[in-house]
Chain A
Amino acid sequence: MSDLILKKDLILFDIQAESDDIVIKQIAEILFKKGYVKESYIKAIREREDKFATGLPTETIGVAIPHTESEHVINQALALAILKDPIPFRVMGDHESYVDVKLIFMIAPSGNGHLSTLQKLMAIFEDKELLSKIVKATDSTEIINLFSAI
């Protein structure tokens, strides 16, 4: 199983939406249109976020890692959405708290390829400078380079 890597066409800038549910739907639809996931992924990932929230407060900015079961995935993928304005997400494991999310890492896992990606993401969450570089990045090549350097 090859590693799940961030691809250029799944780095999304200036994303805007009124709520966590709507932004998750937007990103999931892009994954569907590009053929990475089945249509069922869109509904599944929204329902899953409702049941198991994925907002994470890091030391500086808020991030979210929406994901769902591999049965909805065609080709494993990782999408990164940089939000124009932060959107409140419920905090993982604590559905009464909210975190203002600026970066969404949406995971479409299959097999075990996502495990090394998860570790990479954790390294990013603990790196304040790197997070701020990603938030400020204006082109996808810059972000791909930041990711490859981890």
Chain B
Amino acid sequence: MTKKILICCGTGICTSTMANKKLTASLEKKGKLSNVSIDQCKVSEVKTKALNYDLIISTSKIEHEFDTPMIHGLPYVSGVGIDKCTDEVIKVLGL
């Protein structure tokens, strides 16, 4: 079954777009891209959308006020530690 990932940042189009590209490339490298779908949104929208997703990746600081697991997406913006972070994504989603 396809797992749904929601990437969020302050604007929903800046660093979340950067993170989306890097996560997509990293999942593809590991042969897991076909198992997921990825959406983006603003931090202010996360709380209401979180329940429809299996994992939240945030590049911004947000309160984890929802049941969906969350991972800090900094590696996908800074470029440092992408591999390790994607392994965590795969683990959390059970891909």
Contacts and interface: CB of A to CB of B under 8 A. Distances in A.
Q: Do A and B bind each other?
A: yes
A94 interface: yes
Nearest to B60: A52
A107 B79 CA distance: 19
Nearest to B72: A93
Contacts of A112: 13
B14 A114 contact: yes
A53 interface: yes
Q: How extensive is the interface on chain A, given as a class? A: 20 to 34
Interface of A: 48, 51-54, 56-59, 65, 67, 69, 91-95, 107, 109, 112, 114-115, 118-119, 121-122, 125-126
A107 B10 CA distance: 14
Interface of B: 9-11, 13-15, 17-18, 21-22, 43, 58-61, 72-74, 77-80
A45 to B, nearest CB: 11
B14 A122 contact: no
Contacts of B43: 52
B9 A52 contact: yes
Nearest to B80: A59
Given A93-B72, A119-B18, A57 B11 contact: no
B58 to A, nearest CB: 6
A93 B13 CA distance: 16
Contact of A122 (B58, B60, B79): B79
B11 A69 contact: yes
B68 to A, nearest CB: 17
Given A52-B9, A93-B72, A115-B17, A122 B80 contact: no
A109 B13 CA distance: 10
Given A53-B61, A93-B59, A118 B78 contact: no
Contacts of A109: 14
Contacts of A53: 61
Given A52-B43, A119-B21, A92 B14 contact: no
